[in-house]
């Protein structure tokens, strides 16, 4: 983008900082156009996808195959009456949707869309993504408190507790990948997965990546508040959680943030574990000098993988019931966190075996071929991770000697 702006406006003799500013404003504008379009497509995709799984048709009237349905929905949202409850804290109530939706937009900034197609290559891109995603918790809290409604407050408390609790396994799962690559830049992480014709180098093919992807996927589902972790807006329990008192476009903003967050979690999952934009032929095109072709092909790969992952979320949503709050917390702390810690241990063993050469005590590794070292690392990491999974399974499924509550046995069948 910088190069394009330089070529277009270079003749005006404007100072370099102005050109840089224009380039970044252009990128930001592009992202703010892409984000709502993505969201609109996602609503259609989700409704049609769920309908397909439930043997229904879904929206199919507006436009070809119902593709223009989101626009109709948008018009409906805009012309709805905007209600602020009488007892609400007016400013906090009005600000909350913005505080929730803005981080979702910001997170687009570090997603590597394709070869040479990243809005900004921050050196701490991954950390930026996670830090910004945690900001929306403040917005949820504001929504719950500002609405002055017990359902809102309950929903917000649940949402924030869930986000804070599942941020830990998410961060730990991401840490193992950061250890493998030695960088926090999303672009560099994708570049590191380019081996094996653009497919074999993905981190999901390593034991560290496999367990990491599982933990990441579960934690990301919880972060995005999707089924089976949609406890904060469980409509059969607490109306609609923190969104109860919102209407019109304010509700629409929550909706946008929710969909975008789920999509972004898919995108970052693809970036970290499924090779990002790497795929068959991208690196070959790059080497042959067709930079633009490589960009387009890699963009296609990236979008394909991301939407495939999103489809996985839809599958889970269509088939799984909701968890209980205590089950949620148990699963987060007793399953995911220990597994993520074991995964970090495996990554810690993986890095020296594959990458370090002249380390005391590891001298015998220098004589092995890269493939043999890879195999050895694979074996060691697999042993660590499988042992961790078995251990966690055993300690969590062991039945206590006596039930901690006074009920002698399960309720009778007739109950």
Query: Applying CB under 8 A, does 234 fall inside the site for other proteins?
Result: no
Rule CB under 8 A: choose which of 138, 240, 249, 344 binds other proteins. Answer: 138
**Interaction between residue 287 and other proteins (CB under 8 A):** no
For position 413 contacting other proteins by CB under 8 A, the verdict is no
Q: Is 86 or 326 the residue whose CB approaches other proteins more closely? A: 326
Nearest to 270, CA basis, from 343, 346, 350, 202? 202
**Which position among 54, 360, 361, 405 is part of the footprint of other proteins (CB under 8 A)?**
405
Region from 41-49, 116-124, 187-195, 244-252 binding other proteins, contact rule CB under 8 A:
116-124
Task: Indicate the residue among 128 and 151 with the shorter CB distance to other proteins.
Answer: 128
Distance CA 346, CA 58 (A): 45
Nearer to other proteins, 123 or 319 (CB): 123
What part of residues 355-394 is at the interface with other proteins (CB under 8 A)? none
- Contact between 219 and other proteins per CB under 8 A: no
Which residue pairs from 348-352 have beta carbons closer than 8 angstroms and sit at least 24 positions apart in sequence? 348/179, 349/377, 349/380, 349/381, 349/384, 350/179, 350/180, 350/206, 350/208, 350/377, 350/380, 350/381, 351/179, 351/180, 351/182
CB 231 within 8 A of CB 328: yes
By CB under 8 A, the residues from 33 to 62 that bind other proteins are none
**By CB under 8 A, is residue 254 in contact with other proteins?**
no
CA dist 93 and 352 (Å) reads: 52
Rule CB under 8 A: which of 3-22 touch other proteins? 15, 17
When the beta carbons of 46 and 167 are compared against other proteins, the nearer one is 167
Closer residue to other proteins in complex, CB, 69/185: 185
Residue 264 binds other proteins, judged by CB under 8 A: no
In the complex with other proteins, the residue whose CB is nearer, 160 or 314, is 160
- Looking up tokens 């018009």 gives 75
Nearest to 273 by CA among 342, 201, 348: 201
Asked if residue 404 binds other proteins (CB under 8 A), the reply is: yes
**Position among 72, 117, 130, 380 found at the interface with other proteins (CB under 8 A):** 130
Are 126 and 138 contacting, i.e. CB atoms less than 8 angstroms apart?
no
Residue with tokens 């570090």: 110
Q: What tokens were used for 325?
A: 């709050």
Pick 60 or 120: Cβ nearer other proteins: 120
CA 4/CA 2 separation, integer angstroms: 5
Whether the CB-CB separation of 274 and 118 falls below 8 Å is answered with no
Of the pair 29, 123, the CB lying nearest other proteins is at 123
Per-position DSSP letters for 359-372, written without gaps between them:
-TT-GGGGGS-HHH
Smaller CB separation from other proteins, 130 or 240: 130
Residues in 87-106 at the binding interface with other proteins, rule: CB under 8 A = 89, 92
Beta strands in 105-251 (DSSP E): none
Neighbours of 348 (CB within 10 A): 14
| CB distance 160 to 141 below 8 Å | yes
Q: Does 337 bind other proteins (CB under 8 A)?
A: no
> 61 preceded by cis ω (within 30°)?
no
- Shortest CB 344 distance to other proteins, Å: 14
DSSP 3-state of 35: helix
Phi and psi torsions of 114, nearest 5°: -175, 180
Tell me which residues touch other proteins (CB under 8 A). Answer: 15, 17, 89, 92, 122-124, 127-128, 130-132, 134-135, 137-138, 141-142, 145, 153, 157, 160, 164, 167, 184, 324, 326, 404-407, 411, 415
């Amino acid at each position: 983008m910088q190069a394009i702006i330089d070529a277009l406006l270079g003749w005006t003799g404007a100072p370099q900082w102005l050109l840089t500013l224009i380039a970044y404003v252009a990128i930001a504008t592009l992202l703010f156009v892409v984000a709502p379009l993505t969201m609109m497509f996602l609503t259609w995709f989700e409704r049609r996808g769920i309908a397909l799984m439930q043997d229904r048709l879904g929206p199919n009237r507006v436009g070809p195959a119902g593709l223009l349905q989101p626009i109709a929905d948008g018009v409906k949202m805009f012309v709805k009456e905007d209600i602020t409850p009488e007892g609400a804290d007016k400013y906090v109530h009005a600000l909350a949707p913005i505080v929730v939706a803005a981080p979702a937009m910001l997170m687009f900034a570090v997603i590597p869309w394709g070869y040479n197609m990243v809005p900004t290559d921050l050196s701490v891109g991954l950390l930026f993504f996670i830090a910004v995603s945690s900001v929306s918790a403040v917005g949820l809290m504001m929504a719950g408190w500002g609405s002055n409604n017990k359902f809102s407050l309950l929903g917000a408390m649940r949402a924030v507790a869930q986000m804070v609790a599942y941020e830990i396994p998410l961060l730990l799962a991401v840490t193992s990948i950061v250890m493998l690559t030695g960088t926090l830049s999303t672009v560099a992480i994708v570049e590191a997965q380019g081996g094996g014709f653009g497919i074999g180098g993905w981190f999901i093919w390593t034991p560290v990546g496999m367990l990491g992807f599982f933990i990441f996927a579960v934690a990301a589902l919880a972060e995005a508040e999707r089924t089976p972790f949609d406890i904060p807006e469980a409509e059969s329990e607490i109306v609609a959680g923190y969104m109860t008192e919102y209407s019109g476009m304010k509700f629409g903003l929550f909706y946008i943030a929710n969909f975008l967050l789920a999509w972004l979690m898919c995108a970052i999952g693809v970036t970290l574990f499924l090779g990002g934009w790497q795929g068959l032929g991208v690196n070959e095109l790059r080497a042959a000098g067709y930079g633009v072709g490589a960009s387009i092909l890699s963009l296609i790969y990236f979008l394909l993988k991301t939407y495939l992952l999103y489809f996985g979320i839809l599958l889970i949503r269509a088939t799984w019931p909701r968890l209980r709050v205590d089950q949620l917390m148990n699963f987060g702390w007793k399953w995911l966190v220990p597994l993520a810690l074991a995964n970090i241990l495996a990554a810690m063993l993986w890095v020296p075996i594959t990458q370090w050469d002249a380390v005391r005590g590891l001298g015998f590794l220098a004589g092995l071929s890269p493939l043999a070292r890879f195999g050895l690392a694979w074996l060691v990491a697999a042993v660590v991770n499988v042992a961790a999974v078995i251990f966690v399974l055993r300690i969590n499924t062991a039945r206590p000697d006596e039930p901690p509550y006074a009920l002698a046995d399960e309720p009778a069948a007739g109950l």
